[in-house]
Structure 1
Amino acid sequence: MLPTVAVPCPYCGERVELMIDADAGLQNYIEDCPVCCRPMEIAIAFGAGGELLASAARDSDA
């Protein structure tokens, strides 16, 4: 099972659960918010201790 992380949607503020493929390393992709359907830029990184870090920002093209 893939790990999940919750991030707030940058448009509507609802918490969105994302399933992350940690084996894929650093990631940047677009995913629509399941609540308001607006495109979020998702960034996945890993901290110094290996912890999963995720953020959601407004899509620059929106």
Structure 2
Amino acid sequence: MFEHFFNCPYCMAEISILIDPSIRTQKYIENCEVCCNPIQVQLEMENGTLLYFQALSIEQ
């Protein structure tokens, strides 16, 4: 597991998530630690390296 920081698409606060590098493609909903709004997280891993990361408002 490693920690990844990004900005919430709602309140722009810097928040963090823990990523399991053993799962290549991930897509799930995570609530913002600050404003509690739901964020759709999508990411892709390869050999322990984060290739792609996106955090979107689910209202888009």
What TM bracket, shorter-length normalisation?
Answer: 0.7 to 0.9
Quote the RMSD (CA, aligned, Å): 2.0
Report which of the two has the higher share of strand.
2
Aligned length: 59
- Could you list the per-position Cα deviations for residues 1-29 of structure 1 after superposition, in whole angstroms to 9, with x for gaps in the alignment? x1111111000001111100110111000
CA distance in 2, matches of 1:16, 1:27: 18
Which sections of structure 1, spanning at least 5 residues, go unmatched?
A: none
- Could you list the per-position Cα deviations for residues 24-53 of structure 1 after superposition, in whole angstroms to 9, with x for gaps in the alignment? 111000000010000000011137x86313
Report which of the two has the higher share of helix.
1
Structure 1 segments of 4+ aligned residues over 3 angstroms from their partners:
none
CA distance in 1, matches of 2:32, 2:26: 17
- Aligned partners of 2:44 and 2:53 also within 8 Å: yes
CA distance in 1, matches of 2:24, 2:9: 23
Aligned to 2:11: 12
CA distance in 2, matches of 1:24, 1:40: 19
Structure 2 counterparts to residues 1-62 of structure 1, below 5 A: 2-46=1-45, 51-52=49-50, 53-60=52-59
